[in-house]
Structure 1
């Protein structure tokens, strides 16, 4: 009997020891349920322009379901507060694991970013999956400081109803795009025979104007980044032709000189075309008083758009750099990135996702994608210099307004802007 009692006592001790071991294992910090992975929370600073935040939340849930040890905490901020929020977190010693970044912020946080190429076969292998025209934005000092999530392109939207009334057929193939002079003639015909009040409204931004600059073979800054190039022959020609479009009555002066909203003008149904970007496809979805579409932009010496977009960046000194990189790798895969861009009505930056099955505007998106595939490197090389461009972009806009108004010549105006650019470059080197 005593022997049996002793055996039971030993068994009870062994059971208690096993239970204590299990309890300790559950309390062990930094371990997950599967494979001993540490439990991590990834703070993801995010801003939304439309419904893409809700789409990303769904993608995050799917990721968390596949990775039980990872929780992604989306911190939503208005875009105007993004830079301040990130600077505050970094200066406070608590950088976020991740952030959604626009082209404007990429350069500002390049030194704090994780090199995504380092763990993904090197920068060339990593960047090969994305369209080439975006590369100057997110590759800094041969490091991939972010990953493209979506891409934007400047392009041409037009009023189908007015064109049909005028009997004008738009180019339906990239092999048959108009020259600018052919385009101007077509606009005049739509105005005369189609009843359009205006031929073309053009967004009041240097970014949109620069499309014409690149098509004519120009650029704002020299290829080596050491001096202004905007006042060369192509830059002067771009300013002069822009003025001519206004002088000929094709573009109303009320936008660039009067501040009238081009979106509102196009919505009236009295404008033949709108020079804007692919984001207007979503914006114009609700138009019902006329038919509209997207056609190929005219070309100068070459075809070109201007790429932009949003990116995902992982930050150093967080302790979760690997997990943040893994998450970025996931959301930029063909499957997940295609889902994100298709549902948000964005263009995918992936080379293998140029044609997505959008619920709306599929063919229109493909035209914008083609514009990007025919974009010159100078466009992104210029606009990626976001520590320099903001120092002269307003001067460029003001000068273009003065050229349109006849207050200065195109040559004098571009020379003046070139001096501002040279100063901005010199200040950057100090």
Structure 2
């Protein structure tokens, strides 16, 4: 072969290799820029409380139709296994693209999270989309380590049938809410004239109990998180009033002392009211043996609920950080988040979704939303400290039970809990 022919052959080979390389690149990318770039799979670790998993799958289908290069793989785990699953994946060097997490997991995985505000116009612009009371939960060291998907609030569900029978009218607006003494008197009247066996059941959790703490002007910790404040005057007043509800027979001791399920008690139709979370609207949807509704909680020094919620977090070192962020941005838009929260009967964390057209319980959800809008900053500041709270929350629950039964005084009990809080704060600083 002469030099000219050899050069032509080499040239043809180079052209063929170039064409083959281009074809492979097109195949790898799923069709080029029009399809959105390279093919990616987003592992999405997910837990569900109700029907929200099915709703999210519909949302994922819509997203995949618009982004043909993206496949979202939902990895469903029971909530009790969520932390263990995420710890195993991240420790093994194979973190998921993203995960649905609760407030409990936020602090534990914050260091491994993508800062979602970086590519979304900065922290102030990003957090400005969502209600202010959630900010302490997902903003860590001036980084948005997650995006709110839904928000929860504590509130008051009541047996309308029993209240009507007793001739007791509930507050019709947030401008005329009861004081705690007025509320207690109303509950006694529903017990005496309406036939209620008990006036009020209250979920057996420290978070739900802390509702009354904030209403009396108390808090678990100081605003800067430097010391315990649960044992100050407001804290003692709150726990003593909680005890009084039990000693007066308004609240059954069987819940906080015997572990009886407050949901079952309310469903029986023999309880006037249930202090619980907004998710119980969905849980009680099937009650047919009596009418029920939602009214405003009473106040002491002030009104307050306790915020919580679920969040979407993207993980560093997944190799698909940008695509995971894009997906989170999509599911937290006004329109998509409205679909998700409406169909799941959740409260939306977005400021522009404050009033949604729920198929069930629209007015009830608006009352819970109002409770959230009147929540004091301390509630979120306390419960966002999830590397500290788990170290004393079980003891707090146990101590409250001991105060109710008279085993220990309110002051002595909360002094003991304050010591545990200060110890946990000290360990955190090391």
| Counterpart-to-counterpart distance in 2, 1:136 and 1:85 | 25
- Secondary structure of 1:251's counterpart equals coil
- Considering only aligned residues, what root-mean-square deviation do their CA atoms show, in Å? 1.7
Match of 1:27 in 2: 24
Q: How does 1:205-354 map to 2 (within 5 A)?
A: 205-354=205-354
Match of 2:384 in 1: 384
Match of 2:146 in 1: 146
Match of 1:121 in 2: 121
- Secondary structure of 1:105's counterpart equals helix
| Counterpart-to-counterpart distance in 2, 1:170 and 1:18 | 82
For 1:27-58, what per-residue CA distance to the aligned partner results, in whole angstroms no more than 9, with x for missing partners? 22742324171221111111111111111111
- Given that 1:30 and 1:40 are in contact with CA atoms closer than 8 Å, whether structure 2 keeps it comes out as no
- Secondary structure of 1:199's counterpart equals strand
| Counterpart-to-counterpart distance in 1, 2:181 and 2:85 | 47
Shift of 1:226: 1.2
- Between 1:35-44 and 1:392-401, the stretch displaced more is 35-44
| Counterpart-to-counterpart distance in 1, 2:211 and 2:226 | 22
- Given that 1:147 and 1:328 are in contact with CA atoms closer than 8 Å, whether structure 2 keeps it comes out as yes
For 1:286-338, what per-residue CA distance to the aligned partner results, in whole angstroms no more than 9, with x for missing partners? 11100001000001111110001100000111221111111100000000000
Match of 1:132 in 2: 132
- Secondary structure of 1:90's counterpart equals helix
| Counterpart-to-counterpart distance in 1, 2:205 and 2:105 | 18
- Secondary structure of 1:311's counterpart equals strand
Match of 1:3 in 2: none
- Given that 1:34 and 1:68 are in contact with CA atoms closer than 8 Å, whether structure 2 keeps it comes out as no
Match of 2:360 in 1: 360
Shift of 1:170: 0.5
| Counterpart-to-counterpart distance in 2, 1:298 and 1:106 | 31
Shift of 1:235: 0.5
Match of 2:4 in 1: none
- Secondary structure of 1:33's counterpart equals coil
Q: Which runs of 5+ in 1 are unaligned?
A: 1-9
- Secondary structure of 2:101's counterpart equals strand
- Given that 1:149 and 1:310 are in contact with CA atoms closer than 8 Å, whether structure 2 keeps it comes out as yes
Match of 1:68 in 2: 68
| Counterpart-to-counterpart distance in 2, 1:403 and 1:181 | 20
| Counterpart-to-counterpart distance in 2, 1:56 and 1:17 | 48
Shift of 1:24: 3.9
Shift of 1:18: 9.1
Shift of 1:26: 3.7
Shift of 1:355: 1.0
Q: Which runs of 5+ in 2 are unaligned?
A: 1-7
Match of 2:155 in 1: 155
If the length of structure 1 is used for normalisation, what is the TM-score?
0.94
- Given that 1:150 and 1:311 are in contact with CA atoms closer than 8 Å, whether structure 2 keeps it comes out as yes
Match of 2:198 in 1: 198
Match of 1:104 in 2: 104
- Secondary structure of 1:230's counterpart equals coil
| Counterpart-to-counterpart distance in 2, 1:232 and 1:121 | 42
| Counterpart-to-counterpart distance in 2, 1:179 and 1:32 | 63
| Counterpart-to-counterpart distance in 2, 1:394 and 1:58 | 38
Shift of 1:99: 0.4
If the length of structure 2 is used for normalisation, what is the TM-score?
0.94
Match of 2:59 in 1: 59
- Secondary structure of 1:239's counterpart equals helix
For 1:321-370, what per-residue CA distance to the aligned partner results, in whole angstroms no more than 9, with x for missing partners? 11111110000000000000101111100011111111111110111011
| Counterpart-to-counterpart distance in 1, 2:230 and 2:306 | 16
Count of residues in Structure 1 that have an aligned counterpart in Structure 2: 418
